[in-house]
């Protein structure tokens, strides 16, 4: 069995002054997850650790630094799913939780539920998850933009991670603050299984982008389905490479709906792919084939070696 991990920092436009922060944030996250996988740890732990790192980084639209809705409030959504038993957990519209991905993970372990708002916060408290004041999630930058009614030049975006552990478990996780200026009560795709995330025995996918476009094409499940391929061989169906499957999934979205999206995809052999139709998407990944993690902001044409 091989191990692998890939993270994204959202489908968006990354301004030049934010490129380094996006790159470093994704690298730190992938390293946190990789250390766990390397020790023989569970892919759920790796995905949770990677996403917690991104949630704690105000560069990204997840937890601290999340975008504000029309009323100047932060509402967070997150989900996690594993191939083992197709177990999943989701939370949406939470305000008092520091790391929504950890709450989604706890739900996955208890019972596959989608908990929202007050009920999700109550569950988080009962499970001794880290609670916080809603205002502590609001960064100065987001507050100022909201007060000045500015739409940021570089839209902040959702984070996600997919990982394969030594036991063959594939896990997907995604976490977001939603869209800038979203109407109160709006919930996007991020925590919805099949849309913002999906994992089964074939692969795992985490998506990002306009939830209103991701949902109708069930983007994460579409990408994993496309891994199955369509070419028959003597041994049966030939699996499609995740790079190709990810591209085809985004093609499906482009053909059917307007809007921007991106996805990261990992198959059961530890092969990876990612695509987006937004201008940029920061991605970092690590596998046994590499000596050190690689990072790619998609502005650049080449993967940048992590430690060089
Ligand atoms: N998909 C998220 C949402 O619609 C936003 C994003 O990925 O940027 O809530």
Q: Is the pLDDT assigned to residue 306 strictly greater than 50?
A: no
Q: Are 66 and 181 a contacting pair, CB within 8 Å?
A: no
**pLDDT tens across 119-171, in order?**
999 999 999 999 999 989 998 888 888 888 766 555 667 999 999 999 999 99
DSSP secondary structure, 12-53, as one string: E---HHHHHHHHHHHHHHHHHHHHHHHTT--HHHHHHHHHHH
Residue 305's pLDDT band, with cuts at 50, 70 and 90, is very low
CA–CA distance from 38 to each of 5, 135, 266 (Å)? 11, 37, 17
CA–CA distance from 78 to each of 19, 74, 111 (Å)? 24, 13, 16
For a substitution probing ligand 1, which of 63, 68, 100, 158 has the most ligand atoms within 8 Å of its CB? Answer: 158
Topology classification of domain 4-290: 3.60.20
Rounded to the nearest 5 degrees, what angle is found at the Cα of 105, between the Cα atoms of 241 and 298?
A: 40
- Let me know if 16 is exposed, middle or buried by CB neighbors in 10 A (0-12, 13-18, 19+): exposed
pLDDT of residue 140: 86
Q: Is the pLDDT assigned to residue 236 strictly greater than 80?
A: no
CA–CA distance from 253 to each of 12, 38, 220, 248 (Å)? 16, 35, 11, 9
The structure's pTM equals 0.94
Give 154 Cα–ligand 1 centroid separation in angstroms: 14
CB-based contacts of 189: which residues, under 8 Å, 6+ apart? 195, 196, 207, 211, 214, 215, 219
Cα 4 from chain centre: 15
Give 272 Cα–ligand 1 centroid separation in angstroms: 22
For a substitution probing ligand 1, which of 92, 193, 210 has the most ligand atoms within 8 Å of its CB? Answer: 210
Pocket of ligand 1 (CB under 6 A): 10, 157-158, 176, 178-179, 188-190, 208-211, 214
Query: Can you give the residue ranges of every domain in the chain?
Result: 4-290
Buried b (16+ CB within 10 A) or exposed e, 255-292: eebebbbbbbbbbbebbbbbbbbbebbbbbbbbeeeee
CA-closest residue to ligand 1 atom 8: 157
Matching residue, tokens 């069995």: 1
């Amino acid at each position: 069995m091989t191990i692998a991990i890939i993270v994204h920092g959202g489908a968006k436009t990354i301004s030049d002054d934010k490129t380094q922060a996006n790159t470093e944030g994704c690298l730190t996250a992938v390293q946190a997850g990789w250390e766990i996988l390397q020790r023989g740890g569970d892919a759920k732990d790796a995905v949770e650790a990677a996403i917690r790192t991104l949630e704690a980084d105000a560069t990204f639209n997840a937890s601290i630094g999340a975008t504000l809705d029309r009323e100047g409030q932060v509402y967070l959504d997150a989900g996690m799913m594993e191939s083992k038993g197709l177990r999943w957990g989701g939370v949406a519209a939470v305000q008092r939780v520091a790391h929504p991905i950890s709450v989604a993970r706890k739900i996955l372990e208890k019972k596959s539920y989608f908990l929202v708002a007050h009920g999700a916060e109550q569950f988080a408290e009962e499970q001794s998850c880290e609670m916080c004041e809603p205002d502590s999630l609001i960064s100065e930058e987001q507050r100022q933009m909201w007060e000045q009614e500015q739409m940021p030049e570089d839209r902040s975006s959702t984070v996600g991670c997919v990982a394969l552990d030594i036991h063959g478990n594939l896990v997907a996780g995604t976490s977001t603050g939603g869209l800038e200026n979203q109407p109160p009560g709006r919930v996007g795709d991020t925590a919805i299984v099949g849309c913002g995330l999906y994992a089964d025995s074939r692969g795992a996918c985490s998506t990002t982008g306009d939830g209103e476009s991701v949902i109708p094409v069930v983007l994460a499940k579409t990408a994993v389905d496309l891994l199955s391929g369509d070419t028959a061989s003597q041994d049966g169906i030939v699996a499609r490479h995740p790079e190709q499957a990810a591209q085809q999934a985004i093609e499906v979205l482009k053909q059917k709906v307007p809007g921007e999206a991106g996805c990261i995809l990992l198959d059961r052999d530890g092969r990876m792919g990612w695509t987006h139709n937004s201008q940029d998407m920061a991605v970092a990944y690590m596998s046994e084939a590499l000596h050190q993690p690689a990072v790619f902001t998609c502005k650049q044409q080449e993967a940048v070696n992590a430690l060089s």
